[in-house]
Amino acid sequence: MTLRLGRHEFTDDATLMMAIVNRTPDSFYDKGATWAEDAAFERVRTVVEQGAEIVDIGGIKAAPGAEIGPAEEKERVVDLVARVRSTYPGLVISVDTWRAEVADAVCAAGADVLNDAWGGADPELVDVAAQHDAAIVCTHTGGVTPRTRPYRIEYDDVVAAAIADTVGYAERALAAGVAKESIVIDPAHDFGKNTFHSLELTRRVGEMVDTGWPVLVSLSNKDFVGETLDLPVGERLTGTLAATAVCALAGARIYRVHEVVETRQTVDMVWSIAGRRPPRRAIRGIQ
C-alpha cells in the first residue's frame, strides 16, 4: 500500500527519515539548542540538506516539567510550521502533539502528519486528522497520562499490548475518516515501558510489521539505549544505530531521529542486506 503523509506519497519500499526538531527549551537531547524559532528553522534547513523526508516539530518535551497549555504550545509551533511549509513545499511536516486543538491549528498552517506520542490521550485528535486529510501516528503508551514516566508498569506481553493498542487506535482513526494509507503505528519505545520492555519490542518489532500497518520507530538516544550500555545522552549513537538496524531488518518504515545521516546509512545498508534495496552503485567483480 502506498504511504500517504498529507500532501506527499511514498512507495511501498521507501524508508523515511523523520528528523526531530524541538521548539522547546528543555528537551533531553539538545537541551534547548533549537528553542528560538530561528534556531529551530535552522535545524530544519540542516536536516533537509541531510536528506530527511520528514521533520517532526514538537513544542513540549516528553518528560515531566512545567505545564505548557495549548495556547503556549500553539505559539511555539504554528508559526514555525507555516514558515517551513512555505520554504519547503516538498518536505513532510509532522507535529508532535497529543492535543486536538493544537493539531487543528498546525494542520491549518500546513502540517501533514500528527505524531501523537501519547497514544490517543485526546480522543478528538483522530477527527482533526480526518478533517484535514492528515496522517496520524498511533502509538502505544500502555494508557499512561501524557508527560509521565513509567513506574512499575508490567505487561503480560508487551508486544501483544503494543499491537492491540496501536492497531485499535489505527482502526479508530480509520473509523473517524482518516485515510487508510495515512495511518502509521509506533510501539513507542520507553513510553510507558521500562528498558526490558523496549528491548523486547525491538527484538520482536517484526510482529508489528506483520500487522500490515506501516511501522514508525523512535529509538534515537533513548534511555533504553543508555541503560543497556550504561551511557549518558551524547554517547548513545552506536547503540541507537544497532537498535535501528534490528528494526530495519524487520521492515520498519519510518525512523524518528536526531542523527539523520548516520541513521539513513544504517537503514539503507540493512534494507539492501534484506534484499529490498539495490546497492547505490555496484561494479566490483561485475565489470
Partner 1 sequence: MIALVPGVLALLPEYASIEDPVPDLRAACLDAVAALGPRVRVLGTGSGERVGRHLVETAGAEVVDAGESGVLVVANGSAKRTEKAPGHLDERAEAFDETLRELLVGPDPAGLAAIDAELGAELWADVGGLVALGDLLAPGQAVDVTYDAAPFGVQYWVIRWSPDAVPSDA
Only segment of 15-23, 95-103, 149-157, 278-286 that touches partner 1 (CB under 8 A): 278-286
Nearest to 134 by CA among 2, 4, 3, 254: 4
State which residue, 152 or 281, has the beta carbon closest to partner 1: 281
For partner 1, the closer CB: 232 or 278: 278
Question: Which residues, including other chains, have CB under 8 Å from residue 151's CB and lie 6 or more apart?
Answer: none
The answer to the question of residue 275 lying near partner 1 (CB under 8 A) is no
Residue 35 sits at the vertex; the CA angle it makes with 243 and 233, to the nearest 5 degrees, is 30
- Tell the smallest beta-carbon distance from residue 283 to partner 1 (Å): 4
Is 121 within 8 Å of 93 (Cβ atoms)?
no
Kindly tell me which residue out of 90, 232, 275, 278 binds partner 1, with binding defined by CB under 8 A. Answer: 278
Q: Which is nearer to partner 1, 66 or 286 (CB)?
A: 286
For 117, which DSSP code?
Answer: T
Determine the Cα–Cα distance for residues 205 and 191; give it in Å rounded to an integer: 15
Residues 244-263 that bind partner 1 (CB under 8 A): none
Chain centroid to CA 232: 22
The number of residues making up the chain comes to 287
Residue 282 makes contact with partner 1 by CB under 8 A:
yes
The least distance separating partner 1 from the CB of residue 7, rounded to whole angstroms, comes to 25
- Closest contact distance (angstroms) between CB of 216 and partner 1 is 24
Nearer to partner 1, 195 or 272 (CB): 272
Q: How many residues bind partner 1 (CB under 8 A)?
A: 10
Burial bucket for residue 50 (CB in 10 Å: 0-12, 13-18, 19+): middle
Q: Which of residues 197-226 bind partner 1 (CB under 8 A)?
A: none
Residue 152 as a binder of partner 1 (CB under 8 A): the answer is no
CB of 215 to partner 1, least distance (A): 23
To partner 1, the closest distance from the beta carbon of 86 in angstroms equals 31
Contact between 281 and partner 1 by CB under 8 A: the answer reads yes
Closest to partner 1 by CB, 85 vs 277, is 277
Assess 277 for contact with partner 1 (CB under 8 A): yes
Q: How far is the CB of 138 from partner 1 (least distance, A)?
A: 32
C-alpha cell at 87: 520554504
Taking a C-beta distance cutoff of 8 angstroms, is the pair 167, 211 a contact? yes
**Can residue 279 be called a binding residue for partner 1 (CB under 8 A)?**
yes
3-state helix, strand, coil in the chain (%, to 5): 40, 15, 45
The sign one gets for the Cα dihedral 191, 197, 198, 201 is: negative
287 near partner 1 (CB under 8 A): yes
Task: Tell whether residue 285 is a contact of partner 1 (CB under 8 A).
Answer: yes
Report the C-alpha gap between 108 and 104 in whole angstroms. Answer: 6
Compute the C-alpha angle 58/182/194, nearest 5°. 50
Binding site residues, partner 1, CB under 8 A: 277-283, 285-287
